Amino acid sequence: MKYKILTSDDSKMVRVIVARTFSPFNCEILEAGTGTEALEVVAKHSPDLIILDITMPDMTGLEVLKTLRANPVTASIPVVMLTAESANKTVEEADRLSVSGYIAKPFKPEQLLAQVKSIIDLQPA
Protein backbone atom coordinates (compact mmCIF):
# COMPACT_ATOMS: atom_id res chain seq x y z
CA MET A 1 0.00 0.00 0.00
CA LYS A 2 1.29 3.43 -0.91
CA TYR A 3 0.56 5.73 2.04
CA LYS A 4 -0.11 9.43 1.59
CA ILE A 5 1.63 11.63 4.15
CA LEU A 6 0.85 15.33 4.38
CA THR A 7 3.52 17.65 5.80
CA SER A 8 2.10 21.03 6.79
CA ASP A 9 4.71 23.60 7.73
CA ASP A 10 5.25 27.19 6.63
CA SER A 11 8.95 26.49 6.23
CA LYS A 12 10.10 24.92 2.99
CA MET A 13 13.21 23.74 4.83
CA VAL A 14 11.15 21.52 7.15
CA ARG A 15 9.02 20.20 4.29
CA VAL A 16 12.23 19.32 2.40
CA ILE A 17 13.66 17.48 5.44
CA VAL A 18 10.39 15.59 5.91
CA ALA A 19 10.19 14.63 2.22
CA ARG A 20 13.83 13.48 2.28
CA THR A 21 13.21 11.41 5.40
CA PHE A 22 10.44 9.43 3.72
CA SER A 23 11.89 9.26 0.19
CA PRO A 24 13.26 5.69 0.64
CA PHE A 25 9.76 4.47 1.47
CA ASN A 26 6.75 3.55 -0.57
CA CYS A 27 4.73 6.67 0.20
CA GLU A 28 3.60 9.88 -1.42
CA ILE A 29 4.46 13.15 0.28
CA LEU A 30 1.91 15.96 0.04
CA GLU A 31 2.88 19.47 1.09
CA ALA A 32 1.03 22.46 2.55
CA GLY A 33 2.57 25.79 3.56
CA THR A 34 -0.38 27.11 5.57
CA GLY A 35 -3.17 25.74 7.73
CA THR A 36 -5.81 26.59 5.15
CA GLU A 37 -3.83 24.84 2.45
CA ALA A 38 -3.49 21.80 4.72
CA LEU A 39 -7.28 21.52 5.07
CA GLU A 40 -7.66 21.86 1.29
CA VAL A 41 -5.12 19.08 0.68
CA VAL A 42 -6.86 16.88 3.26
CA ALA A 43 -10.23 17.40 1.53
CA LYS A 44 -8.78 16.65 -1.90
CA HIS A 45 -6.32 13.80 -1.19
CA SER A 46 -7.42 12.14 2.09
CA PRO A 47 -3.92 11.57 3.51
CA ASP A 48 -3.24 8.58 5.78
CA LEU A 49 -1.17 10.66 8.19
CA ILE A 50 -0.49 14.35 8.80
CA ILE A 51 2.69 15.93 10.15
CA LEU A 52 1.62 19.30 11.50
CA ASP A 53 3.45 22.44 12.61
CA ILE A 54 1.82 24.86 15.07
CA THR A 55 3.13 28.34 14.19
CA MET A 56 1.79 29.05 10.71
CA PRO A 57 0.66 32.34 9.17
CA ASP A 58 -3.12 31.95 8.79
CA MET A 59 -4.32 29.17 11.10
CA THR A 60 -2.29 27.56 13.85
CA GLY A 61 -1.70 23.83 13.74
CA LEU A 62 -3.96 23.42 16.77
CA GLU A 63 -6.79 25.19 14.92
CA VAL A 64 -6.25 22.87 11.96
CA LEU A 65 -6.31 19.89 14.33
CA LYS A 66 -9.58 21.05 15.93
CA THR A 67 -11.14 21.44 12.47
CA LEU A 68 -10.02 17.95 11.49
CA ARG A 69 -11.37 16.40 14.68
CA ALA A 70 -14.72 18.18 14.30
CA ASN A 71 -15.32 16.62 10.88
CA PRO A 72 -16.35 12.92 10.99
CA VAL A 73 -14.58 12.29 7.66
CA THR A 74 -11.20 13.50 8.94
CA ALA A 75 -11.58 12.97 12.71
CA SER A 76 -9.57 9.77 12.85
CA ILE A 77 -6.61 10.73 10.62
CA PRO A 78 -3.44 10.22 12.70
CA VAL A 79 -1.64 13.51 13.34
CA VAL A 80 1.94 13.96 14.51
CA MET A 81 2.77 17.43 15.78
CA LEU A 82 6.20 18.67 14.65
CA THR A 83 6.73 22.04 16.28
CA ALA A 84 9.08 24.27 18.25
CA GLU A 85 6.28 24.95 20.72
CA SER A 86 6.43 22.41 23.51
CA ALA A 87 5.05 24.27 26.54
CA ASN A 88 3.13 21.94 28.84
CA LYS A 89 -0.19 23.66 28.09
CA THR A 90 0.30 23.26 24.33
CA VAL A 91 1.26 19.59 24.60
CA GLU A 92 -1.77 18.99 26.86
CA GLU A 93 -4.09 20.64 24.35
CA ALA A 94 -2.70 18.52 21.53
CA ASP A 95 -3.07 15.45 23.74
CA ARG A 96 -6.74 16.29 24.37
CA LEU A 97 -7.18 16.44 20.59
CA SER A 98 -5.82 12.88 20.36
CA VAL A 99 -2.58 13.42 18.51
CA SER A 100 -0.64 10.27 17.69
CA GLY A 101 2.74 11.84 18.36
CA TYR A 102 4.43 15.07 19.42
CA ILE A 103 7.95 15.90 18.29
CA ALA A 104 9.67 19.06 19.46
CA LYS A 105 11.91 20.92 17.02
CA PRO A 106 14.85 20.78 16.63
CA PHE A 107 14.38 17.17 15.60
CA LYS A 108 16.35 14.33 14.10
CA PRO A 109 14.87 12.73 10.95
CA GLU A 110 15.21 9.27 12.55
CA GLN A 111 13.02 10.47 15.46
CA LEU A 112 10.29 11.44 13.01
CA LEU A 113 10.67 8.24 11.03
CA ALA A 114 10.39 6.07 14.16
CA GLN A 115 7.28 7.96 15.25
CA VAL A 116 5.57 7.59 11.87
CA LYS A 117 6.56 3.92 11.56
CA SER A 118 4.89 3.25 14.90
CA ILE A 119 1.63 4.48 13.36
CA ILE A 120 1.67 3.24 9.76
CA ASP A 121 3.40 0.24 8.24
CA LEU A 122 5.86 1.96 5.91
CA GLN A 123 7.64 -0.34 3.46
CA PRO A 124 10.79 0.42 1.43
CA ALA A 125 10.08 1.77 -2.06
Q: Is 106 in the site for another protein (CB under 8 A)?
A: yes
Select from 107, 113, 119, 120 the one that contacts another protein (CB under 8 A): 107
CB of 7 or CB of 83, closer to another protein = 83
Q: Is 95 in the site for another protein (CB under 8 A)?
A: yes
| Angle 35-107-101 from CA coordinates, rounded to 5° | 60
Per-residue contact flags (x/-) with another protein for residues 39 to 78, judged by CB under 8 A: ----------------xxx---------------------
| Angle 57-66-76 from CA coordinates, rounded to 5° | 125
**Phi first, then psi: what are they for 53, rounded to 5°?**
-85, 165
Nearest to 96 by CA among 62, 123, 125: 62
Nearest to 90 by CA among 62, 58, 125: 62
Q: Is 89 in the site for another protein (CB under 8 A)?
A: yes
Contact residues for another protein (CB under 8 A)? 10-14, 16-17, 55-57, 83-92, 95, 101-108
